[in-house]
Amino acid sequence: MIVLTIDQRRSRSTEDKVEALVKQANATVSVVRPFQRTAGDEVQAVLDDANEAIRLAVMMAASGDWSVGLGFGQVETPLPEETRAGRGPAFEFARVAVERAKNTNAHLAVHGPSHEATRLEAELQLTACIVSKRRATAWEAGTLADEGMTQQEIAKELGITQQAVSSRLSAALWFEANRMMDEAAKSLNRQLNMLKEQ
CATH number of 144's domain = 1.10.10
Q: Give the pLDDT band of residue 187 (cuts 50, 70, 90).
A: very high
Query: Are residue 140 and residue 95 in the same domain, yes or no?
Result: no
The verdict on residue 194 lying in a domain is no
**From edge to edge, which strands make up the β-sheet containing 108-111?**
33-39, 42-47, 2-8, 66-72, 108-111
Q: Average pLDDT for residues 25-43, to the nearest whole number? A: 92
The verdict on residue 198 lying in a domain is no
Q: Average pLDDT for residues 121-145, to the nearest whole number? A: 96
Q: Give the pLDDT band of residue 196 (cuts 50, 70, 90).
A: confident
Omega before residue 34 within 30° of 0, cis: no
Q: What is the CATH number of the domain that holds 37?
A: 3.30.70.270
Taking 80 as the threshold, does the pLDDT of residue 198 lie above it?
no
List, in sequence order, every beta strand (DSSP E) within the chain: 2-8, 33-39, 42-47, 66-72, 108-111
DSSP-assigned letter for residue 77: S
Look over the chain and give the mean of its residue pLDDT values, rounded to a whole number: 94
Query: Are residue 59 and residue 150 in the same domain, yes or no?
Result: no
Query: Are residue 18 and residue 75 in the same domain, yes or no?
Result: yes
Taking 90 as the threshold, does the pLDDT of residue 14 lie above it?
no
The verdict on residue 85 lying in a domain is yes
The verdict on residue 191 lying in a domain is no
**pLDDT score, position 153:** 97
* Closest residue by Cα to residue 21 from 10, 35, 11: 35
Q: Is 29 left (phi over 0), alpha (psi -120 to 50) or beta?
A: beta
The verdict on residue 144 lying in a domain is yes
- Owning domain of residue 51: 2-114
Taking 90 as the threshold, does the pLDDT of residue 148 lie above it?
yes
The verdict on residue 104 lying in a domain is yes
Query: Are residue 96 and residue 6 in the same domain, yes or no?
Result: yes
Taking 90 as the threshold, does the pLDDT of residue 39 lie above it?
no
Taking 80 as the threshold, does the pLDDT of residue 11 lie above it?
no
Query: Are residue 83 and residue 156 in the same domain, yes or no?
Result: no
Taking 90 as the threshold, does the pLDDT of residue 197 lie above it?
no
The verdict on residue 162 lying in a domain is yes
Percent of the chain, pLDDT > 90?
89
Query: Are residue 68 and residue 155 in the same domain, yes or no?
Result: no
Distance CA 126, CA 86 (A): 30
